[in-house]
Structure 1
Amino acid sequence: MGVKQEILRMAIYLTFPVTMFWLSNQPEYFEEYIVKRKREIFPPEQTEEKRQLEEVKKKFRLEQEMRYMKD
């Protein structure tokens, strides 16, 4: 009975991590949980906001250049 019990125990010990690895690497799981969560944390950039930010940066750079030219 000792050998059979050890074989069963070893099978259980190996089955659990292999199963968890297999489940966590399913594309459906990845898409559903990981990618959606990433999109919630880092939403896609809005083009209008990006354009406004670039305008502000450009205006700031021009002001700095004008200050340097005056000196």
Structure 2
Amino acid sequence: MGVKLEVFRMIVYLTFPVAMFWISNQAEWFESSVIQRKRELWPPEKEDQRQELEEFREKIRKQREERLFRAAQQSS
């Protein structure tokens, strides 16, 4: 029984990693599982959201510049 058990264990030890490698490298599985999950977690940005973000950044930049300008005038 010892040799048969060792052969069976060796087959399992070699088959499992090869099978996992083969399954994980299937393009259909990768597309359906990984890419879809990524899109659920981080949806693509919409153009109006990008525009709002740029406007907000510009507003904050102008406020910061005005504050620095007032601080520079007061210290002079």
**Would you call these one fold, judging by a TM-score over 0.5?**
yes
Aligned to 1:63: 63
Per the normalisation by structure 2, the TM-score is 0.77
Aligned to 2:45: 45
Q: 1:54 to 1:11 in 2, by over 3 A?
A: same
Sequence identity (%): 50
Per the normalisation by structure 1, the TM-score is 0.81
| 4+ residue runs over 6 A deviation | none
* Residue 13 (structure 1) shift: 2.4
Q: How many residues of Structure 1 are paired with residues of Structure 2 in the alignment?
A: 70
Q: Which runs of 5+ in 2 are unaligned?
A: 72-76
Aligned to 1:11: 11
* Residue 19 (structure 1) shift: 1.0
Deviations 1:9-46, CA, capped at 9 Å, x for gaps: 32232112211211111111111100100010010011
Deviations 1:27-66, CA, capped at 9 Å, x for gaps: 1111110010001001001110111111011011111111
Structure 1 vs Structure 2 CA RMSD: 1.6
